[in-house]
Chain A
């Protein structure tokens, strides 16, 4: 079955590997879109994978629409940088969701990629353009309908570089301490007081993701992001920093903003709350005008 045929038939989560320019990219497709609603594309965060970050979100969001979660191969993009990752994503979308306008949801460094991709694909594709699915990996032929940036890293700061350097140093000299550092920096104090989360498994992409975390700077391209956007900040995030999310919200022309009482690992700490926020926004992206602060739910 071709990837495109799989895309039509898929309802339960289906894992697949897409080859883009010789690079294998793992992704998972779930849900259906009987009403032709735009599929949601999920990009995991630093040190994470679609399996670890979206174990809850993917199947439950897929109850309401089609969802594609993509594990970009960060290592392959070391030479080409962020542009290489954007090409990978374009290649995956072209194969799995050909011709579809998508809603991008990026978490942490996944938000960096999602924002950069949206800036590079600023307008809707011209439906009369010849052969819109031509296999040109750099053609900006995938349009983004709306964008969700969850505890994003738009621009590396001194603090991000310090953390990356600390982590790198510890990984060489005190590898066992690395597990504690990762837990310590990913979760909020509230969460760690009540829970004993499992250590993170070292991922194939972690080092390359941290490189992006410590070097990225999207400042120049932010004005090109004109689609309806939701920025989600996490008030207890010591990794990305909630200030970065607030500033990003203020930098984008068509953004709304909300905050969750959580550390960086919001998909573990508050899985249902982030699902609720994403589910509502992807269904009604402009129900709140640009510049709105969305009040947190008061259950």
Chain B
């Protein structure tokens, strides 16, 4: 399998989640390019393949959390669960003819730009590959963040991260600890409380929780969407613009912020009657600063005692004993780390080497930067999907991914149009873009809300994960490739295609 000659293709996509598959679908449908999708796991689906914990579900409406070019009329729920989204992505890969392009079990160890031939050289666990265009779609929530808790390795029971759920562990009759209060923890805790003997949740920072109000779609509604032309687009449009209005809550529009806070605190008050518990669950920062979570089950599970709240971080472990920062002690059989992901410092960046052999992680040593959220100076013919300032706190990630895909296709068309091989953004354009990002970020709740979050790089206190504007503005500004600020060139030596 591992040959001496690298496999040569025009384009390589790294990752087969929503970003990688979305890119692959459009390459397959609209271009004649040869391309491969390298995937370290043995299936497509990205975060929806990895996250199989009890209760895993999306908090963006299912009709928005799907490709605009692969709508699905029979989503059964307003919010799809993880397995349904995973199936949707598997179906997409198969029906769009991507399986021949996929290389599973291929972990990319190094991606290095070779200026003499103007190609990217990839070393992987299944051999070497060489391509003209490299598209990294390695995901934003894909590398588990494991906290450094003294005694963690010596814990006397099973320990696993929420995104690597160990289904062989029987939770019935077990005393389970859950670390974290992010979106995963809030879905996990009430669900495992139904079988476990006891569940204790270690809360470092309280989350704002708003009503989920999930509902099923009736058969008639599904048939309506399938049979009446334009109906599914109208629904998507309505859901999208409704979500867009939510951005007002993130930029300190006082009435919108107050209304949002009232909804969350009202939800808490209506579901938790014990004033002491309510106080412990009341966040001390502004709403929206950290990700706002949707749940109708979380507060009742705490209120009824099905889940016990430890209002401090997990401090240390010793055999079966977990000690919280407050000094409280718990005997645990199983420990679940719902502690999030490496977001601001993506591990893939340590494996990418651009001009002069500079590592992308070094280029990003003060935080991720890119022009148009997609291209990085010093890294020719490299495109990053879901990288710097390309996520949202208020609307669907798929809209952002599709925007970037459109940008990349435009850039590739441009190269063809000007008969060039290499495209590279200039540092000046990138700097100007980043200044504008910083300017727009300054007034947002993510930098003014008084919290620490996975949206902000703690090395520079810059907002590097989120796009600090409406999603429509991202489409307006990034959706069409603009060649200004880019240099193009021919490959230094003729290379056989």
Contact = CB atoms under 8 A, between A and B. Distances in A.
Interface of A: 55-56, 59-60, 63, 190, 261, 270-273, 275-276, 279-280, 296-299
Nearest to A299: B240
Nearest to B254: A59
Interface string B241-258: 100110110010101100
Interface stretch (B268-276, B411-419, B470-478): B470-478
B245 A296 contact: no
A63 B248 CA distance: 11
Contacts of A63: 251, 440, 443
Nearest to B440: A63
Contact of A298 (B68, B238, B244, B471): B68
A261 B473 contact: no
A271 B246 CA distance: 10
Interface of B: 64, 68, 233-234, 236-238, 240-241, 244-245, 247-248, 251, 253, 255-256, 399, 440, 443, 470-473, 475-476
A276 B472 contact: yes
A259 to B, nearest CB: 12
Contact of A56 (B236, B237, B248): B248
A259 B440 CA distance: 29
A56 B253 CA distance: 8
B234 A272 contact: no
A94 to B, nearest CB: 30
Contact of B238 (A59, A190, A275, A276): A190
A297 B475 contact: yes
B245 A271 contact: yes
Give the most central of A272, A273, A279, A280: most B CB within 10 Å.
Answer: A272
17 contacts: A56-B245, A60-B247, A60-B253, A63-B251, A63-B440, A190-B238, A261-B234, A261-B237, A272-B245, A273-B472, A276-B476, A296-B237, A297-B472, A299-B68, A299-B399, A299-B471, A299-B472
Given A60-B248, A297-B472, A297-B475, A270 B241 contact: yes
B402 to A, nearest CB: 9
Nearest to B256: A56
B244 A272 contact: yes
Contacts of A273: 241, 244, 472
B356 to A, nearest CB: 36
Nearest to B240: A299
A298 B251 CA distance: 25
A60 B237 contact: no
A271 B237 CA distance: 13
Contacts of A279: 473, 476
B467 to A, nearest CB: 14
Task: Give the 8 A-B residue pairs with the shortest CB-CB distance, closest first.
Answer: A272-B244, A299-B240, A276-B472, A273-B241, A272-B245, A272-B241, A271-B245, A270-B241
A60 B252 CA distance: 10
A270 B237 CA distance: 10
Given A56-B245, A261-B237, A296-B237, A272 B255 contact: no
A270 B443 CA distance: 24
Contacts of B475: 297
Contacts of A59: 248, 253
A159 B245 CA distance: 33
Q: For A55, A190, A275, which residue has the most chain B Cβ atoms within 10 angstroms?
A: A275
Given A280-B476, A299-B68, A299-B237, 16 more contacts: A59-B248, A60-B248, A261-B234, A272-B241, A272-B247, A273-B241, A273-B244, A279-B473, A296-B237, A297-B472, A297-B475, A298-B233, A298-B237, A299-B236, A299-B399, A299-B472
A299 B64 contact: yes
Contacts of A56: 245, 248, 253, 256
Contacts of B237: 261, 296-299
A275 B233 CA distance: 20
Nearest to B469: A63
Contacts of A275: 470
B255 A276 contact: no
A55 B470 contact: no
A276 B470 contact: yes
Nearest to A296: B237
Contacts of A271: 245
A63 B444 CA distance: 11
A242 to B, nearest CB: 16
B396 to A, nearest CB: 8
Contacts of B440: 63
Nearest to A55: B255
A272 B68 contact: no
A55 B245 CA distance: 12
B482 to A, nearest CB: 12
A279 B233 CA distance: 23
Contacts of A280: 476
Contacts of A270: 241
A94 B283 CA distance: 48
Contacts of B251: 60, 63
B248 A261 contact: no
A298 B248 CA distance: 21
Nearest to A191: B238
Contacts of B244: 272-273, 276
A64 B395 CA distance: 20
B154 to A, nearest CB: 50
B311 to A, nearest CB: 36
A60 B440 CA distance: 12
A132 to B, nearest CB: 33
A196 to B, nearest CB: 15
B253 A272 contact: no
A261 to B, nearest CB: 6
B63 to A, nearest CB: 10
Contacts of A299: 64, 68, 236-237, 240-241, 399, 471-472
Contacts of B241: 270, 272-273, 299
Contacts of A272: 241, 244-245, 247, 470, 472
A261 B236 CA distance: 12
Contacts of B473: 276, 279
B395 to A, nearest CB: 9
A281 B256 CA distance: 25
B380 to A, nearest CB: 30
A59 B250 CA distance: 13
A273 to B, nearest CB: 4
A229 to B, nearest CB: 20
Nearest to A11: B443
Contacts of B470: 272, 275-276
Contacts of B253: 56, 59-60
A279 B234 CA distance: 22
A59 B248 CA distance: 9
A271 B475 CA distance: 17
Contacts of B238: 190, 261
A275 B473 CA distance: 10
A223 to B, nearest CB: 32
